Amino acid sequence: MTISDVRFTPAEARSRRVGRILAFFQIMAGIVAASPAAAPRPTLIPEPAKVEWREGVLAGSGPVRAERVEGMPREGYVLEVAPAGAVIRASSDAGEFYARQTLRQLQAADGSLPCVSIRDAPRFAWRGLMLDSSRHFQTVDEVKRWLDLLAMHKMNVFHWHLTDDHGWRFESKKFPMLTKVGAWREQPPVGRYGGFYTQEQMREVVAHAAKLHITVVPEIEMPGHSRSVLAAYPDLACGDTRTEVDRFFDFPMGATTFPTVPGNNVFCAGDEDSFRLLEGVLAEVMEIFPSRYIHCGGDEVGMAAWNGCADCQAVMKSRKLADGHKLQAWFMGRIESFLKAHGRKMIGWDEILEGGLTPEATVMSWRGTAGGIKAAQAGHDAVMSPEDPLYFDHRQSASPQHPPGFGGNIETLEEVYAYDPVPKELTAEQARHILGTQANLWSCATETDERLQLFAFPRLCALAEIAWCAPVPKDFGAFKQRLDGHLVRLEALGVNYWKEDDSFDAGRWSPDPAMKTGTTLELPVARPLEAGKWTAAFHYEGGADALTIDQVELVADGKVVAVDAHEGTAGSEHKGHQYGLEVPELKQGAKVSLRAKVRVTPWAGGGEGDSKGRVSMSRASEVRLYAPEGPLPEIRATTAAPVEGEGWMKRHREVIARMKTKPPATVVIGGSVVQEWEAHEESWITAFGESGAANLGFRGDHEGNVLWRIGNGELDGIAPGRVIVFAGMDPHSTDTPEQVLAGTDAICRMIRGKLPAARILVIGLLPRADGKASAADPDTVNHLLQTRLHPRPGIEVFDPGNAFRDLDGTVNAELFADGGLPNAAGYAVLAKALAGLN
């Protein structure tokens, strides 16, 4: 094998047209190095234990030879690069794999390698990241992408949080209601939200991880955090109150509050059926995941339900259990015995300590370090993942540009780098029980993959250092210098990492009765603004009213030079509160101000103008909060094209003429579903009002046809306040979910260019009633639309699927004419759902 066999150029990495090539190289855990001109000695993260640089280079066509050497650490390696070739020495495939990750970081843009001698081995056996797929769902490709990113940082554990109150993501063939009901939640305003991984998909993830020498540790939450289970199997809960899959108040942006839904989220410990279900599920889990450890949760158990349950109290009495903590210890002990009988070990959050630790359990210490210390002192293994500083759903900066995290904590890059997983309270013997460390990436407030990346990086780079490197005196400045070179690689791979910005406060707003009906804030900008993209952000600090912002302008010497018009809110929750301003070159000494049209929205019984806060400005180009507005793929769905035939063109001309005669307040764009609605006038009026809405539905259209229609006059000369787009167009289309997303994205971009002030509402695909599989699975498409389009200002997404399903999740066939198109009853149901969005 030669170096050039695995070479990957920065130009290729940056090209959006080589996504599949990129995926291949990521599977190989390849990574682009900075050019030699940028870094004569390539930066290495994590830093190897011993590096000796030598004179000379190995050309890109030079040979690489691997040798097995007994007696070396299992994941350790020796790498020697000389002008004649490179040699890897390791005792295992894992050691060789990590040597090759170092090779790829050493590689220059021309494929050459600097001559060097490296001796390296990790400090910890557990170097992990937890990804929460319950609160917000990631696609299989997104999960595999995370595995690739872990591998390039020499991390070897992927803790997969598959179940929680907000969704059950593991397909159980023994208990199908877990995914039929538990995988889905009714989430205002988007409707039905969720998804799950099939057993085949999870095996695919495990196989991908194995190639990267990563162990996937699955988590099935118990006995608490189980509302998604109890919604599906209510008899397993204490008492008679039925519950629902949990939801967030403000979805999906900044979801920082858990609402109260009926019932509790704890398995009844006195019901043998609870254990039958859990043991049945765990048996399926162990068939898919070969990991030694199975994570069983154990955190935040609401014991009030047990205290009021006769069955639970009977168990406590018969087994002489003093309190709920002892009952939990007994509960977890039963599960541990089951896992042990199958050759596995249980790991759980540190609350499993509270009633007495089960005999062989491993503790994951999240509430600080105390749990890990207690476990290690008692002779139990522990993994350190303290909330401070390793909860990566917390913000990593106090910058006003940073999107909201879960809770108010800030965990900076420097704090992560400074953390030592081995507490000083432990003796050398006790410290051997610290298996390692991991960060936890909860998805409560990180609903898209881009947002997850923004919260994880570059802190994950620091985590890789503390998990791999020996505990030598740390030099954060030196680490930052190495990190700068490493960020070039992340940039080339399209990773959306956080960059510190240069923000400042532009001014404040204070309580003002004029805000009841609307007023204009004028804030002088004292600091000079360079030309480029800037963001003005509104930050609520107090008062009974939220501030609603309708438009923000940048004014220079009395002239408006930049504007962003969309509705945003700064209150107890912030949404759309950032305004992008393209600042032109301003003359020196220009008098500059921010002008904002604002009003108040009462949320605590106010409405009198009682709101206060501050407005910040920062360079916007440094942060990508949402999916990049990059070039679209060149596919049918994004290529404007008319339909041949006079009938189609005749309807196109008639639509334009009709709207010129009577300009509509609402425009409805789509394919067959929209055009067929013309035959059901009553439900059309219910959905869109007596004033009427223009029907721009064309039977059989795909997205490219719609692009041609919009580009050829259908939105010209009108100013509707709202444009509704039915995604997917033709229900019989063969487009894939990604193609539907790209086409819908292209349509929304064109609408925004034609009608910048219009509100865009995207309606997801309707479910199919005939059971026929389609290339564009409705649930997958709707998830992509929610996570890729909805976060963008001025675009909302509604999933209509739940309106067409019975309580058990079954699609109601009586609402459809041919399995894909609604009948009169179906259109009435759809109209009622849409009427609630007006």
- Distance CA(153)–CA(26), nearest Å, equals 12
What's the pLDDT score for residue 404? 78
What's the pLDDT score for residue 749? 86
Determine which of 110-124, 687-701, 764-778 has the lowest per-residue pLDDT on average: 764-778
What's the pLDDT score for residue 358? 78
- Residue 811 to residues 103, 234, 726, 766, Cα–Cα distance (Å): 53, 22, 19, 10
CB 169 within 8 A of CB 136: no
Q: How far is CA 18 from the centre of its chain?
A: 23
- Distance CA(459)–CA(411), nearest Å, equals 9
CATH number for 126-492: choose from 1.10.630.10, 2.60.120.380, 3.40.190.10, 3.20.20.80.
Answer: 3.20.20.80
What's the pLDDT score for residue 351? 93
What's the pLDDT score for residue 38? 32
The single-letter DSSP state of residue 712 is: I
CB 725 within 8 A of CB 762: yes
Half-sphere exposure of 250 (CA within 13 A, CB side): 18
Check residues 501 and 679 and name the one with the higher pLDDT: 679
pLDDT digits 0-9 by tens, 573-624:
566 777 889 899 999 989 999 999 999 877 545 678 888 888 888 775 333 3
Alpha helices in 319-392 (DSSP H): 324-341, 370-377, 387-390
Q: Tell me: pLDDT of 194 over 70.
A: yes
CB 580 within 8 A of CB 535: yes
Half-sphere exposure of 576 (CA within 13 A, CB side): 22
Q: How far is CA 653 from the centre of its chain?
A: 43
Q: Tell me: pLDDT of 425 over 60.
A: yes
Residues 6+ apart with CB under 8 A from 519: 512, 597, 598, 599
Q: Tell me: pLDDT of 626 over 50.
A: no
- Distance CA(835)–CA(689), nearest Å, equals 8
- Residue 593 to residues 552, 598, 615, Cα–Cα distance (Å): 11, 15, 12
Return the structure tokens found at 740. Answer: 């539907």
Residues 6+ apart with CB under 8 A from 355: 323, 324, 325, 326, 327, 328, 329, 330
What's the pLDDT score for residue 61? 75
Give me the DSSP letters along 422-458: S-TTS-HHHHTTEEEEEEEE--SS--SHHHHHHHHTT
486 among known catalytic residues: no
Q: Closest by alpha carbon to 270, among 238, 297, 302?
A: 238
What's the pLDDT score for residue 278? 98
- Distance CA(643)–CA(638), nearest Å, equals 15
- Distance CA(332)–CA(572), nearest Å, equals 38
Which residue of the set 164, 284, 351, 501 is catalytic? 164
Domain 3-120 superfamily per CATH: Chitobiase/beta-hexosaminidase domain 2-like (3.30.379.10)
CB 223 within 8 A of CB 268: no
What's the pLDDT score for residue 639? 85
CB 667 within 8 A of CB 688: no
- Residue 495 to residues 30, 62, 126, 243, Cα–Cα distance (Å): 14, 30, 24, 39
- Ranges assigned E (strand) in 499-572: 504-509, 519-524, 532-542, 545-556, 559-564, 568-570
pLDDT digits 0-9 by tens, 786-832:
766 655 667 888 888 878 877 666 788 899 887 678 999 999 999 98
Band of residue 18 on the pLDDT scale cut at 50, 70, 90: very low
Which residue of the set 208, 225, 380, 566 is catalytic? 225
What's the pLDDT score for residue 257? 43
Counting every residue written for the chain, the total comes to: 838
300 among known catalytic residues: yes
What's the pLDDT score for residue 634? 65
CB 41 within 8 A of CB 483: no
Classify 794 in phi/psi space as left (phi over 0), alpha (psi -120 to 50) or beta.
left
- Distance CA(343)–CA(292), nearest Å, equals 8
What is this structure's pTM? Answer: 0.65
Q: Which residues of 582-615 are buried (b: 16+ CB within 10 A; e: fewer)?
A: ebeebeeeeebbbebebbbebbeebebbbbebbb
Which residue of the set 204, 300, 582, 608 is catalytic? 300
Band of residue 256 on the pLDDT scale cut at 50, 70, 90: very low
**Beta strands 545-556 and 574-575: pairing type?**
unpaired
CB 86 within 8 A of CB 63: yes
Summary mean pLDDT of the chain? 85
For residue 369, which amino acid is it? Answer: T
Order across the sheet with 612-619: list the strands. 504-509, 612-619, 532-542, 578-583
Place of tokens 């900076």: 412
- Across-strand partners of 192? 186
Q: Which residues of 411-442 are buried (b: 16+ CB within 10 A; e: fewer)?
A: bbbbbbbebebbbeebeeebeebbbbbbbbbb
Return the structure tokens found at 794. Answer: 């001025």
High-pLDDT (> 90) share of the chain, %: 57
pLDDT digits 0-9 by tens, 674-720:
999 999 999 999 998 866 799 999 998 888 899 999 999 999 999 99
Determine which of 422-436, 491-505, 557-571 has the lowest per-residue pLDDT on average: 491-505
Return the structure tokens found at 359. Answer: 């005999």
What's the pLDDT score for residue 359? 79
Classify 29 in phi/psi space as left (phi over 0), alpha (psi -120 to 50) or beta.
left
Fold adopted by 504-622: Jelly Rolls (2.60.120)
Report which listed range, 86-90, 509-513, 798-802, is most confident.
Answer: 86-90
What's the pLDDT score for residue 601? 78
What's the pLDDT score for residue 447? 80
- Residue 787 to residues 190, 277, 450, 781, Cα–Cα distance (Å): 11, 32, 9, 10
∠322-325-328 over CA atoms, to 5°?
Answer: 110
Q: Tell me: pLDDT of 551 over 60.
A: yes
For residue 21, which amino acid is it? Answer: I
110 among known catalytic residues: no
- Across-strand partners of 157? 128, 215
Q: Tell me: pLDDT of 663 over 80.
A: yes
Q: Closest by alpha carbon to 442, among 837, 79, 134?
A: 134
pLDDT digits 0-9 by tens, 275-296:
999 999 999 999 999 999 999 9
pLDDT digits 0-9 by tens, 369-383:
999 999 999 999 999
**What does the radius of gyration of the chain's CA atoms come to, in whole angstroms?**
29
**Run of H or E including 675:** helix 672-676
Looking at residues 175-179, what average pLDDT do you find? 95
- Residue 325 to residues 106, 309, 322, 534, 595, Cα–Cα distance (Å): 52, 15, 8, 53, 57
- Domain coordinates in residue numbering, the chain: 3-120, 126-492, 504-622, 636-835
- Residue 438 to residues 39, 159, 398, Cα–Cα distance (Å): 30, 9, 23
CATH number for 636-835: choose from 3.40.50.300, 3.40.50.1110, 3.40.50.720, 3.40.50.1220.
Answer: 3.40.50.1110
